Copies of this chain bind each other. A is one copy, B any other.
Amino acid sequence: MPRLGMEPIRKAALVEATITEIGRAGSLDVTVAQIARRAGVSSALAHHYFGSKEQMFLAAMRHILGLYGAEVRGALALAEGPRDRLRAVIRASFAASSFRRETIGAWLNFYVLAQTVPDVKRLLRVYQHRICSNLRAPLRVLAPERAEALAEGLAAMIDGVYLREVLGQRPPDGAQAAAMVLDYLDVQLAARPNSGGAA
């Protein structure tokens, strides 16, 4: 009994299911049948809407990055002044919507996928570029000379914290993770407040 206008609903369900399955399995070795089952449809339908497994992965990744981007934009909208903006970006990176076991697991696997699938690589580069930009802009105000280096350091640290979360036995603690990066930021800014000349 097919109702019309199912496409967006099914696609959304399949994207969610893809992330969940990858996160649970901790691997890209999930079958289309598994994903489809979780989404409550047949594997044939999944192929019908996405064309291939790779396209499903890509859509899932776009979804994750989209959520993250929304989180950042939302936080930035409320922030005033460069320091606040930096904090906003960092906190958004560990907000509950992104910093969950399944999402982290999926995210790590997309890094792996980027080595094989050019489209995924491009997508991930866009994300990296955007986060660096978001950090660099306020840093240019606070520490112009070191803005570039600090932005890269912060970005690396955020990625590193994510990565280490994958192995953690404890469930991820976004607040604590954010605190570590925020502390790094504070100390760096306190060090050479408004000028630079890093090695």
Instruction: Identify the A interface with B (CB < 8 A).
Output: 25-27, 105, 108-109, 111-112, 114-116, 121, 124-125, 128, 149, 152-153, 155-161, 163-164, 166-167, 179-180, 183-184, 186-188, 190-192, 198-199
Q: Is B26 within 8 A of A128, CB to CB? A: no
- A26-B112, A156-B180, A159-B159 given. 15 additional CB < 8 A pairs? A25-B115, A105-B115, A124-B167, A125-B167, A128-B164, A149-B183, A153-B157, A153-B183, A155-B164, A156-B160, A156-B161, A158-B160, A160-B160, A160-B161, A187-B192
Q: How far is the CA of A187 from the CA of B114 in the complex (A)?
A: 34
Q: Is the interface of A mostly helix, strand, loop or mixed?
A: helix
Which among A125, A156, A184, A187 has the greatest number of chain B C-beta atoms within 10 A?
A: A156
Q: How far is the CA of A188 from the CA of B158 in the complex (A)?
A: 17
Stoichiometry (number of copies): 2
Q: Which residue of B lies closest to A152 (CB)?
A: B180
Q: How far is the CA of A118 from the CA of B121 in the complex (A)?
A: 29
Q: How far is the CA of A166 from the CA of B198 in the complex (A)?
A: 25
